[in-house]
Amino acid sequence: MKKAAIAIIMIITLAMGALQGNAQEAKYKFDIGGGIGLSGYLGDVNESNLYKHPGISAEASFRYIANTRLAIRGIFKAVSLSGNSSDFGIVFPEGKTYEFSSWVYDLGARAEFNFFGYGIGETYKRLKRWSPYLSVGAGVTMSSSDGNSSFAMNLPMGFGVKYKLRQRLNLGVEFTMTKVFGDKVDGENINDLYQIKSSMIKNTDWYSTLTFSITYEFGERCETCHYVD
């Protein structure tokens, strides 16, 4: 939780700089796109190796581009997860071992803060064709395993790099860790394995995605018109 708090503080600091600094209006107001990638899991049956059993992820997103430094993104993501406690020699009561496979569906919103003014052309704005960025948000996770489903709030925290291939076309790569405020991402039967009661903070699950994406911008902003009557 300390690392999560530090990441959030860093993002808020960057956001204040973006809003108070040299942020310029972006040429387009929105973008839409999708991505695919790898997924990983940390939880009751995997406490150390995030990609011991890599899965796949796919996402669709809609982004409002506030300016060249700040954007708000809505995202829907489908993620496959799996794990097996025997891979790590974890000793549970009665010597039991556990494994699972599940699908996770994630719906949420995130704020993105670009390190640089992101854009192409309009050289007077000192825009860069690429920019690293940080993101943080909130959402809802629905997990499905062995015919059972569960819901929980989540906190996604990410780092990525975006590159403007053309005026409206963007490529991106992003690594996101998502903390789930629940303990059933890995199934109904894999929780409280040490007979220690779970809570919204304690014994909760995490999952990650490494996503490669492409997006298309639209909704051109009108240039300021200095009208004189």
Pick from 68, 206, 227, 215: nearest CA to 143: 206
What is the predicted pLDDT for the residue at 15? 57
What is the predicted pLDDT for the residue at 161? 98
List C-alpha distances in Å: 101 to 84, 187, 206: 9, 8, 14
Give the start-to-end residue ranges of the domains of the chain.
2-219
What is the predicted pLDDT for the residue at 1? 47
Angle among Cα 109, 17, 164 to the nearest 5 degrees reads: 60
Q: Cα-flanking dihedrals φ and ψ of residue 93, to 5°?
A: -50, 140
Q: Cα-flanking dihedrals φ and ψ of residue 194, to 5°?
A: -100, 15
Instruction: Give the mean pLDDT of 205-213.
Output: 94
Instruction: Give the mean pLDDT of 90-111.
Output: 80
- The structure tokens 């599940």 sit at 102
Residue 55: which pLDDT band, with cuts at 50, 70 and 90?
Answer: very high
For residue 8, pLDDT over 60 is answered with no
Would you identify the CATH topology of the domain 2-219?
Porin (2.40.160)
For residue 59, pLDDT over 70 is answered with yes
Mean pLDDT of the chain: 82
Stronger pLDDT, 101 or 84, i.e. the higher one:
101
What is the predicted pLDDT for the residue at 171? 98
Residue 3: which pLDDT band, with cuts at 50, 70 and 90?
Answer: low
Q: What is the pLDDT of residues 114-159, one digit of tens each?
A: 999 999 876 667 899 999 999 999 999 998 877 788 899 999 999 9
Q: Are 145 and 115 in contact (CB under 8 A)?
A: no
pTM of the model: 0.82
**DSSP H or E segment with residue 5:** helix 2-20
Pick from 141, 135, 168, 147: nearest CA to 39: 141
Pairing of strands 130-145, 206-220: unpaired
Angle among Cα 115, 42, 149 to the nearest 5 degrees reads: 105
* Cβ neighbours for 88, distance < 8 A, ≥ 6 positions apart: 45, 46, 47, 48, 49, 52
For residue 173, pLDDT over 50 is answered with yes
What's 159's DSSP letter? E
Pairing of strands 206-220, 169-180: antiparallel
Instruction: Give the mean pLDDT of 60-66.
Output: 96
What is the predicted pLDDT for the residue at 131? 96
Angle among Cα 106, 86, 37 to the nearest 5 degrees reads: 30
